[in-house]
A and B are shown apart, each in its own frame.
Chain A
Amino acid sequence: MTRDDLLALDGVSRTFGGQPTFLSGLLGQSNQGTRAVDSVSLTIRRGETLGLVGESGCGKSTLARIVAGLIKPDRGTITFKGRPSASAASARPRVQMIFQDPFSSLNGRWTVGRIVAEPIRVHNLRKGSAVRDRVAELLEQVGLSAADVVKYPHEFSGGQRQRIAIARSLAGEPDFLILDEPTSALDVSVQAQILNLLKDLQRDLDLTYFFITHNLGVVRVIADRIGVMYLGQIVEIADNPTLFEAPRHPYTRLLLDAALDLDTSDLSLHPIPGELPSPQFPPPGCRFQSRCPRMKQICIDVEPVLTYEGESAVRCHFPLLSDRQASFPA
C-alpha cells in the first residue's frame, strides 16, 4: 500500500443466504447462497474518484455497504488509511454515504436543518449557535438557501433532496464519500447539476469518491479510474479514457457497445448476446464465459484471476489487445 492510498480492499467477499430454509428444503433445492461480492481487491487513492460500473444485481451496492461499514464481509480485509479494520466504521466520521433514492434517504419527519445538523451533533464538531451557522453554510455550498432549514424534505424536488443529502454528508467533514447511484433517480438536467456540484466540492474540499453507477456516460464524466463488475467480481480496472478507448475485457467492450449515444448517423444497437446468469448459479470457470464471444475450453475449466499490468487490471484468459484494437472481428 502506497502512501497515497486512502483505502484498500483485499479479497473481500460476501454471500447472502446459503443456509437451507424450510421452503427450499421442501422444494428440494440446494441453496449455496448468492455470492453478491466475490474476492474483490482494489485500492482507492486520496483525492481520486473511483467509478464502479456493472449491471443490476452484480453486487455494486453490497460492495458500497461493506466499505461503509453497514454490512460485514464474510472474508477479506478493508484497510483504511493504513489502519486495519473490519470496516471503515472505526474511522468514522471520515466516511459518509449518499444513496440512490433521495426520497427514502432523508427522514421525512425531520426538518432539513435537523437532518443536516445530525452529523455535526453526533460528533460534536460545532457547539451552540455555530451549528446553525455551519448548516447554513453547508446548504449554500450545495446550492440551497439557508432559509430552507425550516422546511421538510417533501417540499423539495428530487434534485434538491439529493443536494440536502450531500449537505448532510459534508456536515460530518468526511474525506471519503461513497456515492451509490446518486443521480440514477434524477432527470438528466438535474443529474448534470449534481455531477458538477460533486466535482466542485471534490476540488474545494479535497474529497475522495467511490462512485457507483450503471450509467457509462456518468462514469465517463466523473471518474478518474473505473472498475467494471460482473456477477460479484471485478473484471477490469483502468483509468478513465483508457477504459473507454481500449477496454481489455470482452465484457467491458460489449457493455460499451451496448450503451446509447446521440449519434443519429449510426442507428445500430449492440445488445450483449445471451442472458445474465442468475447470481445464485454463476457458470463455472470465468463468470462471463456463458456470453463471451472469445470463450475457449480453458474459460470453463479455469477461473481467471485479476492480473495487473501497470495501472490497469483485467480478469480474462484472452484479453483484448491493449493497443487500441479493442473490437471484435465482425
Chain B
Amino acid sequence: MSIATETLSHRNRAIQGLEWLWQSVRTAPGPSLAGLIALSLVLFAFVVPLVISSSPFDPANADLLNSLNPPFWSEGGSMVFPLGTDDQGRDLLTALAFGLRTSLIVGILSVIIGLVIGVSLGLISGFAGGAVDTIIMRAADVQLAYPALLLAMIIDGAMRQALGTSRDTNTAIAIVVVSIGISFWVQYARTIRASVLVEREQDYVAAARVTGRSRLAIIALHILPNIMAPVLVIATINLAIAIITEATLSFLGIGIPLTQPSLGTLIRNGNNFLQSGEWWIVAWPCAVLMLFVFSVNVFGDHLRDVFNPRLRTRR
C-alpha cells in the first residue's frame, strides 16, 4: 500500500489522461480496434437511414429492373449498388444499414428491459434478504434452466396467442424485444445482488447512515453508482447475444416480419437464393452480424478485465 501520493497538479492530470489513453491503446490494441469497429457499424446503421430517408423495403422503392445484381467487382456489378441487390432490386448496402438499425434497436431495447428488471430485482434481493431474497433467487435458478432462445420462443408464442394474429410490424418488434429482454434479467440480478452484499458493508455506506441518509437514498446515490460497472460489461455482451437471438428468431420466422429489414430477416430472405448462386444476398448480413458480434464481444471481454474486482482498485 502506498498512500503517500501527492495531489496531482492539473498538468500532471492532463499527462496522466494522455498516458492512460496511450497505455490502453498500446496494451490492448485488439480491443481498441474492436471498439472502433463496433462504433463504426453503429454509426453506419444510424447515419445511412438519415441520409437515405426512404427504406429500400418500402414497396414503392422496388426496382425490379435492377434485381439480383452482383457486387461491384463481379461480372454485371456496378458501383451504383456496390454490394449488389436482392430479388426486389433493393440496394444491399442500404438494406444492411436499415437492417442493422432494426437489430440494434431491438438489441438495445431488450438489454434495457433486462437491465431494469434485473437491477431492480437484484437490489431488492440484496437489501431485503430473507424470504424475498430466496424467492427471487430461486426464480432466477428456474429461469436459468431454460436456454434464452427457448424462453424467447415461449414468450413470443404466448404473446402471439394473447394478441391474436392481426399484428403489425411494431407489435411484432415489441414482442421480440420483450421476450429477449426478459431472458436477460437473471445475470443482472445475480451480479447486482452480489455487489450489494459487498458494497453495503463498506464504510462509506456506514458514514452515510450515521449522517442520517434514508435507505433508499443510500441505494440510489451511493451504492448504485458504485456497482454499475460490471452491469455495463454484461450489457455490452448481452447486446451481442440479443442481436444473435433476434436474427435467430427472425430466421426461424417467429421474430420480425419479412417486410421489415433486420439482420435476421435479411439472412432469411437471402437464404432462399443461396442454392441459385446469388450468394451475396445472404453473405453480407451474415458478415455484418459476425463482425459486429465479434467486435462487441472482444470489447466487452476487455471491459470485463478492466473492471475485474481483483484488478480494480479504488484509486
The chain A residues found within 8 Å of chain B, CB to CB, are: 65, 68-70, 92-93, 95-97, 99-109, 118-119, 122-123, 148, 151, 154-160, 165, 168, 172, 185-187, 190
Contact of A187 with B4 in the complex, beta carbons under 8 Å: yes
Task: Let me know if B222 is at the binding interface, CB within 8 A.
Answer: yes
Asked if A168 and B207 make an inter-chain contact with CB atoms under 8 angstroms apart, the answer reads: yes
* CB atoms of A65 and B3 under 8 A apart: no
Chain A residues with CB under 8 Å of B58's CB are none
Q: Which residue of B lies closest to A65 (CB)?
A: B206
- Residues on B with C-beta less than 8 A from A157 are 3-7
Q: For B5, list chain A residues within 8 Å (CB).
A: 156-157
What are 5 inter-chain pairs, A to B, with CB distance below 8 A? A93-B212, A95-B210, A96-B210, A155-B8, A157-B7
In the bound complex, CA of A6 to CA of B314 (Å): 37
Provide the bound-state CA to CA distance between A148 and B225, in Å: 22
Please judge, given known A-B contacts A93-B212, A103-B315, A108-B226, whether A70 and B206 are in contact too, CB under 8 Å. yes
Smallest CB–CB gap between B300 and chain A, Å?
Answer: 22
In the assembled complex, the Cα of A187 lies from the Cα of B225 at a distance in Å of 31
**By the criterion CB–CB under 8 Å, are A70 and B4 in contact?**
no
- The answer to whether B315 touches A69, judged by C-beta atoms less than 8 angstroms apart, is no
- Cα separation A68 to B314 with both chains bound (whole Å): 25
Q: What CA separation (Å) do A96 and B222 show in the bound complex?
A: 18
The chain B residue sitting closest to A97, CB to CB, is B210
Assess A70 versus B210: contact at CB under 8 Å? Given A104-B314, A187-B4.
Answer: yes
Indicate which residue in A65, A102, A160 contacts B7 across the interface (CB closer than 8 Å).
Answer: A160
Closest to A189 in B: B4
Taking the complex as formed, is B204 at the interface, i.e. its CB lies under 8 A from any CB of chain A? yes
Q: Are B7 and A159 in contact (CB under 8 A)?
A: no
Identify the 8 closest CB pairs spanning chains A and B, nearest first. A158-B3, A105-B203, A99-B203, A154-B315, A109-B225, A107-B204, A104-B203, A92-B212
Q: A93 vs B204: C-alpha distance in the bound complex, in angstroms?
A: 16
A109–B208 touching, CB < 8 Å? no
B202 interface residue per 8 A CB criterion: yes
Contact indicator A172/B211 (Cβ below 8 Å): yes
- Name which of A99, A107, A108, A109 has the most chain B CB atoms within 10 A of its CB: A107
A100: chain B residues within 8 A (beta carbon): 203
User: A residues within 8 A CB of B167?
Assistant: none
Number of A-B contacts (CB under 8 A): 85
* Residue B209 interfacial (CB < 8 Å): yes
Contact: A154 with B314, CB < 8 Å?
yes
Q: A93-B211, A106-B207, A168-B207 are in contact. List 6 more A-B contacts (CB 8 A).
A: A102-B3, A122-B211, A155-B7, A157-B4, A158-B3, A185-B3
Q: How far is the CB of B55 from chain A (nearest CB, A)?
A: 42
Cβ-neighbour of A105 out of B8, B204, B225 (below 8 A): B204
The one of A107, A155, A190 in contact with B222, judged by C-beta atoms closer than 8 angstroms, is: A107
Instruction: List A contacts of B207 (CB < 8 A).
Output: 97, 99, 105-106, 165, 168
CB contact list, B146-205 vs A, under 8 A = 202-204
Main secondary structure, interface of A, reads: loop
Query: Chain B residues with Cβ under 8 A from A99's Cβ?
Result: 203, 206-207
- Min CB–CB distance A68 → chain B (angstroms): 5
Which residues on A sit within 8 Å (CB–CB) of B208? Answer: 107, 118
Chain B minimum-CB-distance residue to A71: B206
Tell me whether A186 and B3 are in contact in the complex, defined as CB-CB below 8 angstroms, given that A97-B206, A103-B315 are known contacts: yes
CB distance from B134 to the nearest CB of A (A): 14
Bound complex: CA of A66 vs CA of B211, how far in Å?
15
How long is the Cα–Cα vector from A70 to B212 in the complex, in angstroms?
A: 11
A250-B4 Cα distance, complex, nearest whole Å: 39
Q: Is there an interface contact between B212 and A122, defined as CB atoms closer than 8 Å?
A: yes
B213: Cβ under 8 A from any A Cβ: yes
Q: Does the CB pair B204–A118 fall under 8 Å?
A: no
Among residues 1 to 27 in chain B, which have CB atoms less than 8 Å away from a CB atom of chain A?
1, 3-8, 13
- Whether A109 lies near B203 (C-beta < 8 A) is no
Identity of the chain A residue whose Cβ is nearest the Cβ of B206 in the assembled complex: A70
Q: Nearest Cβ in chain B — how far from A158, in angstroms?
A: 3
Q: Which of B210-236 contact A (CB under 8 A)?
A: 210-213, 222, 225-226
Which residues of the other chain, A, contact B222 by a CB distance below 8 angstroms? 107
B190 to chain A, nearest CB (A): 21
Q: Which residues of B contact A160 (CB under 8 A)?
A: 7
Q: Which residues of B contact A105 (CB under 8 A)?
A: 202-204, 206-207
Q: For B3, B8, B13, B208, which residue has the most chain A Cβ atoms within 10 angstroms?
A: B3
The CA of A185 and the CA of B4, in the complex, are separated in Å by 11
CB distance from A16 to the nearest CB of B (A): 14
Q: Which residues of B contact A118 (CB under 8 A)?
A: 208, 211, 213
B99 vs chain A, min Cβ distance (A): 38
Q: How far is the CA of A33 from the CA of B212 in the complex (A)?
A: 30
Give the most central of B6, B13, B211: most A CB within 10 Å: B211
Q: Which residues of A contact B204 (CB under 8 A)?
A: 104-107
Whether the Cβ atoms of B212 and A123 lie closer than 8 Å is: yes
Chain A residues near B13 (CB, 8 Å)? 155
A70 to B225, CA, bound (A): 22
Distance in Å: Cβ of A191 to nearest Cβ of chain B: 12
Residue from the set B8, B13, B203, B222 with the largest chain A CB neighbour count within 10 Å: B203
* Shortest distance between the CB of B205 and any CB in chain A (Å): 8
Contacts of A168 in B (CB 8 A): 207
The residue in A68, A106, A109, A151 that gathers the most chain B C-beta atoms within 10 A of its C-beta is A109
Contact check: which of B7, B209, B226, B314 meets A151 at CB < 8 Å? B7
- Residues of A close to B209: CB separation below 8 A: 69-70
